[in-house]
Structure 1
Amino acid sequence: MSQNPSSSNSERDTNQVETPTVDAVNETLTTTENIEVAPENTPASPPPDDLQQTSKRGKLKIIVAIVVILLLGLIAYGLWKAYLPKTIELQGRVEAETVHISTKVPSRIEEFYVTDGQAIKKGQALVRFVSPELEAKKEQAQAALQSATAFHSTVYRGAQQENIETLYANWQAMKTQADLAATTYKRGENLFQQGVISRQRRDEMLAAQTSARETAEAAYQQYARAQRGSTEQQKSTADAQVAMAKAAVKEANALTEETKLYSPTDGTVSKTYGKPTELVATGIPVVSILEDHDLWVGLNVREDMYSAIYKTKTLEGFIPALNRKANFKVKKIDAEGDFATIKTTRQTGGYDIRSFKFHLVPEQTIPDLKVGMSILFKIEEAK
């Protein structure tokens, strides 16, 4: 079958146009891989500089947002914490009663029987003094007692029998002289009436009679008093003198006992004052004793925190020196407050804050707890 040469040429040209060569296809594929095909109706991509600026602005916005969120979170946390009760740490101190031992007698220290830090028992000897003046005073008191006792014995025993007999004999002699003077006067009166003697002589006889009579009466009273004994007033005076002398001796003995002092309680010697041969005045302590068998904790609480603790029965405290915790009971609260270590606020319309001392005791015995150790308590502030 014959073909038209022109038709064959036309189809060949058409095939050449519609069918690209292999090299052209490969080149087209390579270009397609390197260039992204933009979707339909999408504008052309911006330049690279614009892309970098857009990316920086986006990152900045994210950072600002994060900062704002953190700030809001911090503010919210601060407000939440502000409305929570605050925990305040108070510091207490272990305390004990201190007994100061002193003497009533001005004297010199002779010897100490204890040393600082020594544990002692009730009734144990502590110190001895010497006082020569006190010894002399004691001897004077004893001598006065002997004198008063002798006088008392004389008053109650009365006059001795030989003295009574002597006074009786003296009375009889005076009585005889009085009788003789009376008889002589009677004779003289008769002679005067007869004109034998003068009036002067008669008066002398009368005076002699009166004197003899009075002397005899005085002798009789002495005899009667000796026979009767001492009066009630004399006996009372003698009793009083003996009582005074005994009191003086008792006082001297009591002062002598003050020359050697003993411990009135169990405890530990805190400090001794002075040295042997030194003079000690009356009432000046020479030994201090800590009653460390009865320890307690003193805790000063300001009155603005008083309501948060005064109804509490027990508190937990931390002892730094022993590195342990312990529970303490509120034993008592001082009846009167003291000034707290805080400046006055009256100028600003406030008030002067005072503090009250709480006395706390451990619920259980704490070994090695000593006076002066710190105790830390955490207290929630009153709402």
Structure 2
Amino acid sequence: MDNSKKYLSIAFVVILVVVVIVSALGIWMLGRKPVILQGQIEATEIRISGKLPGRIDTFLVEEGQNVRKGDTLVVINSPEALAKYEQVNAMENIAVYQNQKIDDGTRKQIVESARQLWNKSKSDLSLAKVTYDRISALYRDSVVTSQRKDEVEALYKAAQAGERAVYEQYQMALDGAQKQDRESARSLVNAARGVVGEVSVLLQDARLVAPETGQIAAIYPKRGELVGAGTPIMSLVVLEDAHAVLNIREDLLPHFKMGETFRADVPALSQKGVVFRINYISPLGSYATWRSTKQTGSYDLRTFELHALPEPQLEGLRPGMSVLVNMDEQ
């Protein structure tokens, strides 16, 4: 009986020691739980839109299709823009021809006619002068009256004024348009060409091309639908710009320095220990996750946003994939 109690006491002690050891190991293991930071992959997304309102004529790509920079993505049909282009082209031709007309000057026939009129006025002036000289001589000899002399003198002065007026008309015909008219005509040509250039640039948006190499993430309108100027038609994801985004508490920032690297796992690709190089660190707003360092709160831990690029570029990396960082391995 005494031996049984002795064995029971020993067994109880052993069990108690095992429970204590297991509890201590459990507490130690819980205390050693690794800190895992979870982020995700993001990439630059470009919304494709144009300045030309019209109707979707043709889609040359599909969602999920990879495209290269400069590839044509969609064709927009805008009859109004084409009509406007023809209109401004016609206005440019009118301005050009008007400018040529002014630069060429007055027609030769008009110039010759003005010259002949000037010659006639010179002959009339010469005759009037001879007549005036004769009448003046006769007046000095008291052969004619003073009234006759005044009449001839008036005709002579009228002939002088007429000759001068016809001469100015002849010079105007020779000179052509005034300087202001020439400059005005040239300005009209430049203005017309500017409008043509503006409409031409607008018509270039009838065929929208990929601004970067990437993948078509989404197409919003359907074929045949009307779109306005600036309306997003599709979105393009630049996969070459895929990068990890992590939110880091400031007490963990000493492990992450600008320009340095860290290792992370990408479960979606079954990749472990992928090297990322940090290229951006910035504090989040006051609304972001924070934590007090003490129960009473001596100061708050802010959260920082971190961006990092994979080195080298990882094939198949796509936006939305998770990134796991084990702080014990950093």
The normalised TM-score by structure 2 is 0.78
Q: Distance in 2 between matches of 1:77 and 1:311?
A: 38
Q: Distance in 2 between matches of 1:203 and 1:244?
A: 59
1:282 partner SS: coil
Match of 2:106 in 1: 159
Given the alignment, which residue of 299, 302, 305 partners 1:353?
302
2:308 maps to a residue whose letter is: H
Q: In 2, are the aligned partners of 1:317 and 1:326 still within 8 Å (CA)?
A: yes
Q: In 1, are the aligned partners of 2:43 and 2:239 still within 8 Å (CA)?
A: yes
Deviation, 1:345, is 6.1
1:100 partner SS: strand
Task: Quickly say closer, same or farther: Cα 1:80–1:121, change in 2 above 3 A.
Answer: closer
1:165 partner SS: helix
Q: Please show how residues 272-283 of structure 1 align to structure 2 within 5 Å.
A: 272-283=219-230
Task: Quickly say closer, same or farther: Cα 1:62–1:197, change in 2 above 3 A.
Answer: farther
Q: Distance in 1 between matches of 2:255 and 2:298?
A: 24
Match of 1:97 in 2: 44
Deviation, 1:116, is 0.9
Given the alignment, which residue of 333, 343, 363 partners 2:312?
363
Q: Distance in 1 between matches of 2:220 and 2:13?
A: 74
2:243 maps to a residue whose letter is: W
2:327 partner SS: strand
Deviation, 1:94, is 1.8
Match of 2:263 in 1: 316
Q: Please show how residues 34-53 of structure 1 align to structure 2 within 5 Å.
A: none
1:270 maps to a residue whose letter is: A
Q: Distance in 2 between matches of 1:349 and 1:143?
A: 77
CA-to-partner distance for each residue in 1:122-164, whole Å, 9 max, x for gaps? 3322111122221222122212221222122223322232221
Q: What percentage of residue pairs aligned between the two structures are identical?
A: 29
Task: Quickly say closer, same or farther: Cα 1:183–1:349, change in 2 above 3 A.
Answer: farther
Given the alignment, which residue of 275, 289, 293 partners 1:328?
275
CA-to-partner distance for each residue in 1:323-376, whole Å, 9 max, x for gaps? 342412214123x3223632586995523613122223143634x433211121
Q: In 2, are the aligned partners of 1:316 and 1:328 still within 8 Å (CA)?
A: yes
1:104 partner SS: coil
Q: In 1, are the aligned partners of 2:239 and 2:317 still within 8 Å (CA)?
A: no
Match of 1:373 in 2: 321
Q: In 1, are the aligned partners of 2:290 and 2:303 still within 8 Å (CA)?
A: no
Given the alignment, which residue of 141, 166, 171 partners 1:224?
171
CA-to-partner distance for each residue in 1:187-244, whole Å, 9 max, x for gaps? 8889999798797x98777666555433332221121232244555544433333222
Q: Distance in 2 between matches of 1:298 and 1:181?
A: 103
Task: Report whether the alignment pairs 1:267 with 2:214.
Answer: yes
Match of 2:284 in 1: 338
Given the alignment, which residue of 197, 201, 207 partners 1:254?
201
Q: In 2, are the aligned partners of 1:314 and 1:327 still within 8 Å (CA)?
A: no
1:285 partner SS: coil
1:243 partner SS: helix
Using CA pairs below 8 Å that are at least 6 residues apart, which structure has the higher relative contact order? 2
Q: Distance in 2 between matches of 1:76 and 1:137?
A: 83
Question: Of Structure 1 and Structure 2, which has the larger fraction of its residues in strand?
Answer: 2
Larger radius of gyration: 1
Task: Quickly say closer, same or farther: Cα 1:210–1:62, change in 2 above 3 A.
Answer: farther
Q: Please show how residues 19-168 of structure 1 align to structure 2 within 5 Å.
A: 74=23, 78=27, 87-168=34-115
2:277 maps to a residue whose letter is: V
Match of 1:15 in 2: none
Q: In 2, are the aligned partners of 1:125 and 1:261 still within 8 Å (CA)?
A: yes
Task: Quickly say closer, same or farther: Cα 1:120–1:160, change in 2 above 3 A.
Answer: same
Q: In 1, are the aligned partners of 2:243 and 2:307 still within 8 Å (CA)?
A: no
Task: Report whether the alignment pairs 1:288 with 2:267.
Answer: no
1:283 partner SS: coil
Match of 1:34 in 2: none
Q: Distance in 1 between matches of 2:157 and 2:289?
A: 100
Q: In 2, are the aligned partners of 1:89 and 1:377 still within 8 Å (CA)?
A: yes
Task: Report whether the alignment pairs 1:243 with 2:214.
Answer: no
CA-to-partner distance for each residue in 1:227-267, whole Å, 9 max, x for gaps? 24455554443333322222222222211111111223322
Deviation, 1:269, is 0.8
Q: Distance in 1 between matches of 2:48 and 2:75?
A: 12
Q: Distance in 2 between matches of 1:270 and 1:73?
A: 53
Structure 2: gaps spanning 5 or more residues: none
Measured on the aligned residues, the alpha-carbon RMSD in Å equals 4.1
